[in-house]
């Protein structure tokens, strides 16, 4: 059993894409289309290059892969429009996400720190039926994940020290961000089979041990 279970945080900060909302398939639809336009396949290897990155960083990576450096802004605009459309129509909450948020929110302040821009974050949360008093989007900070600013800003708005708050993440980019902020991390990896050095790693938000731990917070 993880040593983390012996600790109680003072606040919780959740990632959104791939953690609370099953948006990664939506991103993959848009990414597959963009790669296809350039005559390239999109599979696990390509997904690993962009997953968890901010929209701008993902677009810049695509520009390099496409052999079109300097076109990141145009790719970013196309990708945002495509992803927002698919998220608004098809994205669903991750299994157990609502119960997890409700358990945490009943015991302490909670927030969302997302590497998506505000428009896309708002669309995802609205589609999933989530409401957070505190949420921070990638276009509201100077540097998105893996920089710690998103998590540091979230903790500041919650009024807690980062070391006293718990982060939930699904990507290595997000994990590095939370770690850099000095926060313990629960990992629910989107890409299985890869090393994910969080303080606690579970395969699902419905993990019995995880839920039992949250129920003890009340």
Per-residue pLDDT tens digits of the chain, which is 218 residues long: 589 999 999 999 999 999 999 998 898 999 999 999 999 999 999 998 998 888 899 999 999 999 999 999 999 999 999 999 999 999 999 999 999 999 999 999 999 999 999 999 999 999 999 999 999 999 999 999 999 999 999 999 999 999 999 999 999 999 999 999 999 999 999 887 788 999 999 999 999 999 999 999 99
CATH number of the domain that 108 lies in?
Answer: 3.40.50.1000
Per-residue model confidence (pLDDT) at position 192: 78
17 lies in the same domain as 53 = no
Instruction: Report angle CA 93, 95, 99 to the nearest 5 degrees.
Output: 90
4 in a domain, yes or no? no
75 lies in the same domain as 112 = no
Per-residue model confidence (pLDDT) at position 191: 81
76: domain range?
A: 24-90
Give the C-alpha separation, 175 to 5, whole Å.
Answer: 19
How far lies 145's CA from each of 40, 130, 148, 165, 203, in Å? 27, 22, 6, 17, 22
Per-residue model confidence (pLDDT) at position 151: 98
Per-residue model confidence (pLDDT) at position 1: 58
73 lies in the same domain as 97 = no
Identify the domain boundary among 90, 110, 138: 90
203 lies in the same domain as 176 = yes
Identify the domain boundary among 90, 107, 135: 90
163 lies in the same domain as 67 = no
């Amino acid at each position: 059993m993880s040593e983390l279970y012996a600790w109680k945080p003072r606040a919780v900060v959740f990632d959104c894409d791939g953690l609370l909302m099953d948006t990664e398939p939506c991103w993959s639809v848009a990414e597959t289309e963009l790669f296809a336009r350039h005559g390239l396949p999109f599979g696990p290897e390509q997904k690993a290059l962009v997953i968890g990155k901010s929209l701008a960083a993902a677009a810049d990576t695509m520009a390099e892969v496409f052999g079109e450096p300097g076109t990141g802004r145009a790719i970013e605009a196309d990708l945002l429009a495509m992803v927002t459309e698919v998220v608004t129509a098809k994205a669903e909450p991750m299994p157990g996400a609502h119960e997890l948020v409700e358990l945490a929110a009943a015991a302490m302040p909670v927030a969302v720190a997302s590497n998506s821009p505000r428009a896309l974050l708002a669309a995802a949360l609205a589609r999933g039926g989530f409401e957070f008093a505190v949420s921070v989007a990638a276009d509201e900070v100077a540097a998105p994940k893996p920089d710690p600013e998103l998590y540091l800003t979230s903790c500041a708005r919650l009024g807690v020290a980062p070391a006293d708050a718990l982060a939930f993440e699904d990507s290595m980019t997000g994990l590095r961000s939370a770690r850099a902020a000095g926060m313990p991390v629960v990992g629910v990896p989107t890409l299985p089979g890869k090393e994910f050095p969080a303080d606690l790693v579970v395969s699902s938000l419905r993990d019995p041990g995880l839920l039992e731990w949250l129920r003890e917070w009340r």
